[in-house]
Structure 1
Amino acid sequence: MNDNNKSKFSRRSLLTGAALTAGAGAVAATGYWLGGINRVSRGFGKKVIVIGVDGMDPRLCRSLMNAGLMPNMKRMSAAGGFSDLGTSCPPQSPVAWANFINGSGPGSHGIFDFIHRHPHEQCAPFFSAAETIPGNGFLELGDHQLQLDFWPFNHTPPETVLRRQGVPFWDFLDKQKITSVFYDLPSNYPPSPSEYGHHKCICGMGTPDMLGSYGTYQYFSEDTPAAGVEEGGGKRSRVVFDKESARITLVGPENSMLKDPLPVTVDIDVHRDKASNAVLLEVQGQKIMLTPGEWSRWTKLDFALSTPRPLPTQHAGGICRFMLQEVAPNFRLYVTPINVDPSAPAVQLSEPENFISDVSGDLGLFYTTGFQEDHKARSNGVFDDDEFRRQATNVLEERLALFEYAVENYDDGLLFFYFSSSDLQSHMFWWNGEENPSHPTRTSQEAASRYQYVKELYQRLDKIIGDIYDRYGDKATIYVMSDHGFANFGRQFNLNSWLRDLGYLNPRECTSILTDCDWSRTRAYGMGINGLYLNLKGRERDGIVEPGEEQEKLTRQLIARLKAVRDFNGQQVIRNVYRSSEIYSGNATAFAPDLIIGYARGYRASWETCLGELTEDVLLDNTSAWSADHCADALEVPGILCCNKPFVKGDPSLVDIAPSILDDFGIDTPKTMSGRSIFQS
């Protein structure tokens, strides 16, 4: 999605007064995976292990397996099978993982994109998987407003709700008293409850940081403009030294108890020693010494939120890490997004609520935001390639410590573990020169060297797979799966600009459908990465397209014209266009686009398209560091399925994994699922 436009959302504080209870503490050590002790569960129950590797691509896997560079995947495939795994339509991660969770398509879970829109508000966008609902009513006390949910006030506090609908497959295990444990599960924030107490889960992709965003880094330097810079995914601030000391300010969560909510801040004193090329940071009684290129451990932060007298001050605990980039002549300091503290979370990050704090008690502190590799810092030029790769490696090492913990604490039932590295590193470093030797921003040699990073990552993941296979190859059914594959992203298509040029969207001078679109003359618009919507009368607030014959005529015309789009070199831009009415079924289609654009390999929606902005040109080069993607046609980017148990179903898909897991536990496929077990013909 277009992170550059996230600031345009009407955000509300992540934290409410009732939830702000976590305090500050000392720096906790981060656990790093140093190799397992090869414990094997002694439990006697049925065992199923699922390793979800986001974005792992079948073409690259086969190439490396055939070259002998992924030997563990190859031997596991020989015992069971390896196959492309059909992804979701569209092949976006929150959609795909929800398909996996429900064992059925978007019509069952209601997630169609990273971004949805409220038709009655004429395109007001919101994040699809979770939404914060504003509270209702409050008691004014000076500069504060309190929401009291008891009689006689009965105010309704703000609430963040999981928008994924339908029945998650672990509910069927839970009911049968079969244990299931999920680590970093996407599309499940806030976590769905366990009715019978046999399900545990730590939330993954979709979990916000303390600012309520998908991840907002903070960057401090001497050459930042005095007014600071707000950019997609980050904040830049200027540092001014006086006798080699300076004070910088970290921005934390908003205090929603104020009438006019303001962010709570934490001051940090910076002392620079140019001679020793080092810096000392002092933050809330903690001292951190850093040299260029060095990362701090996780640092606890205490955000004090004022309350009206005589109520005590509320506290919210966050954590961050610092990376010193340069001491002089231009001081540069990067600070990770402020994560919710897993040892004392201010909002619920797991089911049951204490699960994540119990894990943190054993492992120390770790990332809790859904997006952990800071791709925005790389895209915005705060990181170079080496710095991003090192940060991403830190994430992987931390994830491996959690993985080892998961395996060491596994007895029987279902164990699911998610790795993000193969997705977010691929977005930055993937480039298949055989498909297109010309990278939009790198030389061919540079592109090949970065692609080698991805291949090395696959090899490292293969060793992890080998370790699990050695431990459990004859004791458990093991799945290795990905939600989609990958493709080069060299050219971008602005759907709204195309609609404007053909007269479907007006006026000609429109720059954004959110600000200056004339809806009385607009028949169609784009929102999100793959979605196209008709401005349908009776559904959209200002709809003009009559349902029925006019709707059908316009739909046919748009499909034909979109399929005919060609680039300057004659290359087909859009492989297919799907009608949601034909590919989705279920009771959760209220937010579905009318049409889903399936891009050809090498193409994707432009960055501006995602939140409705227009550009002069329809087709443009992608000049971002984010140079590979998967939001194309679903047939272009299948995921992978590798299993140590032979499967017979041809053309398996994401929706087939859940019924296959249930089948392994002797549970028939529920009527809520459209998928079928891969072990049954």
Structure 2
Amino acid sequence: MTQSANNSVSRRAILQGAAATAGVGALGATSYWLGGVNRVSRSFGKKVIVIGVDGMDPRLCRSLMNSGKMPNMKRMAAVGGFSNLATSCPPQSPVAWANFINGAGPGSHGIFDFIHRHPHDQCVPFYSAAETLPGDGFVELGEHRLQLDFWPFNHEPPKTVLRRQGVPFWDFLDKQRITSVFYDLPSNYPPSPSQYGYHRCVCGMGTPDMQGTYGTYQYFSEDSPASGLDEGGGKRSKIAFENGSARVTLIGPENSMLKHPTPITVDVDVHRDSASSTVLLEVQGQKIMLKPGEWSRWTKLDFSISTPRPLPSQHANGICRFFLQESGPNFRLYVTPINVDPSNPAVQLSEPSNFIEDVSQDLGLFYTTGFQEDHKARSNGVFNDDEFRRQATSVLEERLTLFEYAVENYDDGLLFFYFSSSDLQSHMFWWDADEDPQHPTRSSPEAASRFQYVKELYQRLDGIIGDIYDRYGDKATIYIMSDHGFANFGRQFNVNSWLRDFGYLNPRECASILTDADWSRTRAYGLGINGLYLNLKGRERDGIVEPGEEQEKLTRQLIARLKSVRDFNGKQVIRNVYRASEIYAGNATALAPDLIIGYARGYRASWETCLGELTPDVLLDNTSAWSADHCADALEVPGILCCNKPIHSANPSLTDIAPSILADFGIQTPATMTGRSVFTT
């Protein structure tokens, strides 16, 4: 995952389908999965269970297995097998999970990075797996602008579309009337439809919050700037008390029915009792009492969407949790991103659309945004390490409640469940001192103690794996898999600054390719984490590189020079550079970069590179709390595969999992897939 994946989607899409709703109770799941659930399906149908553990690393797994700290995965591996699992190129989560979904590489599904661009827009970025398209046509009534999708108007409202192409493997199960259920599946928002009704899915990574972003927290403190501060992934606002009381405003979705759309807001009254360090929050008739260090349960928020008379007003429901960090002397209140309410969603969050509502009816409220552990709050200093760990742990506890529900409601067919904790906690706490003893921002003891958090998380996940293996080891095929592994991220490389220094990108004083590039003198640019594009004539809006001989000469030159980049200490920065034309095959390559940069362990694209910004230095320290990553060369960060059936493939890959699952159900590998079953030689 990447910090730069927080780019906004249209807020209008959040309001599509918003229905009137009543009541704003403070509901929430109260039971936490502790293992030992006794129910095991007695159905005689074929059973396949896949546990997707994002970012689980084979090196660390082997170390913990060998030291006796992951005994359950070790005994499962003894029966079946444990192997590295080749990841996608590049090894980014949307790309990797799409490889898993299609049983084929990026050339089949068209996702090549977190960030894409349309060539005709000359590098305007958008999130690769989903894109919001503007509407067409409207009627003006006073201060309102309405889009009417019925005759005779036939306006086209804005809509968010899934950009993953190709055929997902569950379609082949669906056609054979084999049930498949997916919980928090990445790279599938909006959810792809089920033609025959045997597929259900709750969307995961890529699902937006109520502001139409991929997670925007709101933070109120007495030391915030008076004018407020919008920072990547969040907004800081100043709170001022008078006689122990204050009012703050939560920003929700935009009212896109207005000529000039403005955010819909909800006020929260805050009352502080300094003597008891207690704070009372009042929001829309709900009262929430908190002490420092306490989290509220999920709170419903009703966003009223104004409409012109005589139309009835519309409503969209959101949910949030409050975290009182300090009551004084510096009051600090964190509010989660305002999630879409799963009990009454304003946009489709599942397939079928009522599936998530059924789950919420049983469990209460829960996170619906794709990115749930708030890494942005940690990177921006709103959270310290302990606060981030607590928030991430609460996400895991909530996910385990959902996991219990998934297992309790499973009979046969395919069950897929996704855990994000091992990825996002690793981004913040991973540091392998054997590779580099010096952490860029922490002392060696601090780095070691934070890495211990990751090891403890692996041990907890091992307990979950053990419970599933105990109950289903002789009744189901069980896969434990990850999309990639992990590595230290101590140094960062700005490819656009490097291109500037070699004269490929102009002018010299360019600060951002989005605003400052002179395309008449720019031959190449970087956008996203691993992608490099030629400014190719006839493809890019302002392309100048002639296809053919000039294109080939430039490509060879860039590859050779990039592979020769060395850091101040002589270390190789870039392990390999791949031609998209050589590693991608399929009908979905239109948005592919020309070159994919595969970084050596310890290195990654700089934060500025991802959205086209330049820095004076090409190589610099990574001083972010996000100190580990996987967006390197694919050979550096394989994932894991552990199975309770013997793995016969010598080098299994993500693209092999779908054919393996289909084979378990007696379905031959479709022509759309390039992978093959891991259970065959």
* Short-chain TM bin: over 0.9
Task: Please give the TM-score of this superposition, normalised by the length of structure 1.
Answer: 0.99
Task: For residue 22 of structure 1, report the CA deviation from its aligned partner.
Answer: 4.5
Mapped to 2, the partners of 1:3 and 1:11 lie a distance apart of 19
Once residues 47 and 395 of structure 1 are traced to their aligned partners in structure 2, the CA distance between those partners, rounded to angstroms, is 28
Q: How does 1:3-152 map to 2 (within 5 A)?
A: 3=3, 6=6, 11-31=10-30, 32-152=32-152
Amino acid of the residue matched to residue 13 of structure 2? L
What's the CA shift for 1:23? 4.5
**Alpha-carbon separation, structure 1, partners of 2:495 and 2:186:** 28
**How is 1:384-533 mapped onto 2 (pairs within 5 angstroms)?**
384-533=384-533
Residues 35 and 467 in structure 2, CA contact (< 8 A), matched pair in contact too:
no
Distance 1:283 1:54 in 2: 36
Displacement, 1:16? 3.4
The alignment partner of 1:520 has SS state of: coil
Alignment correspondent of 2:266 = 266
Q: Deviations over 1:44-83 (max 9, x none)?
A: 1000000000000000000000000000000000000000
Corresponding pairs, count: 680
The secondary structure found in structure 2 opposite 1:49 is strand
- Residue 19 of structure 1 and its aligned partner are, at CA, apart by 3.2
Letter in 1 for 2:665: F
- Conserved? CA contact 1:4–1:233, under 8 Å: no
| Alignment RMSD | 1.0
By how many angstroms is 1:36 displaced?
A: 3.7
SS of corresponding position for 2:347:
coil
> What residue in structure 1 maps to residue 381 of structure 2?
381
Name the CA distance, whole Å, in 2 between partners of 1:413 and 1:154: 41
Q: For each residue in 1:85-138, what CA deviation from the matched residue of structure 2 results, as whole angstroms up to 9, or x when unmatched? A: 000000000000000000000000000000000110111111000000000000
Q: Report the Cα distance in structure 2 between the residues aligned to 1:550 and 1:22, rounded to whole angstroms.
A: 61
After superposition, the C-alpha distances for 1:403-435 in whole angstroms (9 at most, x for unaligned) are 010001000000000000000000000000000
AA at the equivalent of 1:660: S
Is this contact kept in 2: 1:427–1:628, CA < 8 A?
A: yes
SS at match of 1:399: helix
Rounded to whole Å, the distance in 1 between the matches of 2:224 and 2:242 is 17
Within 5 Å, which residues of 2 pair with 1:114-193?
A: 114-193=114-193
CA distance in 1, matches of 2:19, 2:135: 16
Deviation at 1:372, TM superposition (A): 0.3
Q: Structure 1 CA distance, aligned partners of 2:430 and 2:646?
A: 31
Call closer, same or farther: CA 1:4–1:46 in 2, change over 3 Å.
closer
State the alpha-carbon separation in 1 of the partners of residues 126 and 111 from structure 2: 12
Q: Distance in 1 between matches of 2:384 and 2:15?
A: 37
- Contact kept, 8 Å, 1:22 with 1:345, in 2: the verdict is no
Letter matched to residue 14 of structure 2: L
Matches within 5 A, 1:195-274: 195-274=195-274
Q: Deviation per CA, 1:332-351, whole angstroms, max 9, x where unpaired?
A: 00000000000111100000
Aligned equivalents of 1:38 and 1:380: distance in 2? 43
Conserved 8 A contact 1:24-1:317: no
| Contact in 1 for aligned 2:56/2:639 (Cα 8 Å) | yes
Q: State which drifts further: 363-372 or 33-42.
A: 33-42
Q: Which residue in the other structure is 1:344 paired with?
A: 344
Distance, in Å, in 2 between the alignment partners of 1:16 and 1:295 is 28
How many Å apart are 1:35 and its aligned residue?
3.1
Is the 1:226–1:238 contact (alpha carbons within 8 Å) kept by the matching residues of 2?
yes
Q: SS of 1:19's equivalent?
A: coil
User: Whole-Å Cα distance in 2 between the matches of residues 35 and 462 of structure 1?
Assistant: 11
* SS across alignment from 2:254: strand
Q: Which digits, 9 at most, give the CA deviation of each residue in 1:309-337, with x for residues without a partner? A: 11111000000000000111111000000
Q: Displacement, 1:192?
A: 0.3
Q: Which amino acid aligns with 2:387?
A: E
Q: Which moved more, 1:553-562 or 1:20-29?
A: 20-29
Letter matched to residue 29 of structure 1? G
Cα distance in structure 1, aligned partners of 2:195 and 2:438: 54
Give the secondary structure class of the aligned counterpart of 1:315: strand
CA contact (8 A) 1:135 1:156 kept: yes
> For the Cα contact (< 8 Å) 1:378–1:385, is it kept in 2?
yes
Q: Deviations over 1:259-305 (max 9, x none)?
A: 11100000000000000011000000000000000000000000001
| Structure 1 residue identity aligned to 2:145 | Q
Q: What is the letter of the counterpart of residue 356 of structure 2?
A: I
For residue 583 of structure 2, what is the amino acid of its counterpart? I
- Quote how far apart the aligned CAs of 1:523 are: 0.1
* Mean Cα deviation higher: 308-317 or 9-18: 9-18
What is the match of residue 673 of structure 2?
Answer: 673
Query: In 1, distance between residues paired with 2:17 and 2:644?
Result: 47
Q: Are 2:15 and 2:316, in contact at CA under 8 Å, matched by a contact in 1?
A: no
CA positional deviation for 1:11 = 4.0
The residue type equivalent to 1:587 in the other structure is N
> Retained in 2: the 8 A contact 1:5–1:232?
no
Q: Which whole-Å CA distance do the structure 2 matches of 1:2 and 1:396 have between them?
A: 20
**1:18 CA displacement:** 3.8
CA distance in 2, matches of 1:5, 1:214: 7
Quote the offset at 1:623 in angstroms.
Answer: 0.1
1:647 counterpart SS class: coil
Residue 647 of structure 1 and its aligned partner are, at CA, apart by 1.7
**Given the two structures, how large is their TM-score scaled by the length of structure 2?**
0.99
Deviation at 1:43, TM superposition (A): 1.0
Distance 1:139 1:104, change over 3 A: same
Distance in 2 of aligned mates of 1:102 and 1:668: 14
> How has the CA–CA distance of structure 1 residues 22 and 346 changed in structure 2, closer, same or farther, with 3 Å as cutoff?
farther
Q: Distance in 2 between matches of 1:459 and 1:17?
A: 42
1:14 Cα deviation after fit = 3.1
2:586 corresponding residue in structure 1: 586
Supply the AA of the counterpart residue of 1:15: I
Q: Distance in 2 between matches of 1:487 and 1:269?
A: 45
Structure 2 vs 1, CA of residues 21 and 650 (structure 1 numbering), >3 Å: closer, same or farther? farther
CA deviations 1:191-215 (Å, max 9, x no partner) are: 0000000000000000000011110
Which whole-Å CA distance do the structure 2 matches of 1:300 and 1:608 have between them?
36
Aligned amino acid, residue 526 of structure 2: G
Contact 2:9/2:213 (<8 A) preserved: no
Partner of 1:356: 356
The Cα of 1:34 is off from its aligned counterpart by: 3.3
Whether the 8 Å CA contact 1:130–1:162 is kept in 2: the answer is yes
In structure 2, C-alpha distance between the alignment counterparts of 1:316 and 1:118, rounded to whole Å: 32
**What is the CA distance between 1:649 and its match in structure 2?**
1.0
Judge conservation of contact 2:48–2:413 (CA < 8 Å) in 1. Answer: yes
Cα contact 2:5–2:114 (8 A) shared by 1? no
Equivalent residue number for residue 627 of structure 1? 627
Distance 2:644 2:227 in 1: 57
Unaligned runs of 5+ in 2: none
Distance 1:191 1:4, change over 3 A: closer
Retained in 1: the 8 A contact 2:209–2:340? yes
Contact 1:16 1:157 survives alignment (8 Å): no
1:559-574 to structure 2, matched below 5 A, reads 559-574=559-574
Tell whether the 8 Å contact from 2:5 to 2:115 is kept in structure 1 after alignment.
no
